[in-house]
Structure 1
Amino acid sequence: MSYYQHHVFFCTNERDDGRPSCGERCAGDLRDYAKKKVKGLGLAGKGRVRVNNAGCLDRCDEGPTMVIYPEEVWYHYENEADVDEIISEHLQNGRVVERLRI
């Protein structure tokens, strides 16, 4: 059994070679928002949900991006409303948010 029910990785990489990167699209701020929201909803901790930074997930051109394990579901998002929808639908209710899936 997995230590966490859901492990969420936000790409927060910032490239310096001119290619798009998640970090330049507020990924760090939205990761912080997600972490606070997950904790506020009482979803964080062992056997529950963990939100982490990730280095480059190599999908920045589709981003900003995140991936949720163990389901291996990849998402792009634009704002807090998208993050809220992923938390509500995927993490709380087990439903993939198809409109944000990549």
Structure 2
Amino acid sequence: MLRYTLMRLGIFAGCLLAVWGLVYSGAFPRGFGDSNFLWVLLLAMVISAPISFVVLRRERERASVQIVRKVDRAKADLEANRSQEDVADDTTRAQGQPS
């Protein structure tokens, strides 16, 4: 998951540098007044999102598989704890009741 996040940030940083260069060279409009930095950030986000979606597809699937494994493991651990509690509860009830 960390790898995917770092790769996504890298794509965003590359787009940010490219957009910054294009805005200051005059290829893209400069924005309105003091909004230039916000304009550059917005353009970089809009451009990097579809690039990340296409380029990082395999990495996103790997991260998804890791998350599913962790969730399944947590569910199994929770179920094991529940069954241990049920056995302990049944044992306590059986010992507490006179025969």
So what's the TM-score if we normalise by structure 2? Answer: 0.28
Structure whose residues are more often strand by fraction = 1
Structure whose residues are more often helix by fraction = 2
**Which protein has the larger Cα radius of gyration, Structure 1 or Structure 2?**
2
